[in-house]
Amino acid sequence: MESLTQPVLIVDSHFGIYTPFYLAKYILSKSDEIAQKLFDKISTKDLELLIEGPENESYWETYEDILNNSNIDLNGTEYYLDCNEDLWLCPTGYDFETF
């Protein structure tokens, strides 16, 4: 994978309350290096819970835990998930307000 320096859009905000659901679908697909690395960081149980959708009482808490604990390394740069309406994978130190 080419070295990234900018955020990567993971889930567009038009999915609304289903953003966590689509995050889980993306990760479970393991379709690229990012999805694979996130899959390695997040428990299958948590992903399955997000697949159940917002009707599950633990949906939002699980999503928040994933956002707070899913930093990954890509080519020596640490990235984190950031939900700024859209869901992004951002290099550590990236600030949407500045850029």
- Domains in the chain: boundaries: 8-91
Give the model confidence (pLDDT) of 32-87 as tens digits: 999 999 999 999 999 999 999 999 999 999 999 999 999 999 989 999 999 988 99
Reduced 3-state DSSP string for the chain? CCCCCCCEEEECHHHHHHHHHHHHHHHHHCCCHHHHHHHHHCCHHHHHHHHHCCCCCCHHHHHHHHHHCCCEEECCEEEEEEEECEEEEEECCCCCCCC
Report whether pLDDT(6) > 90: no
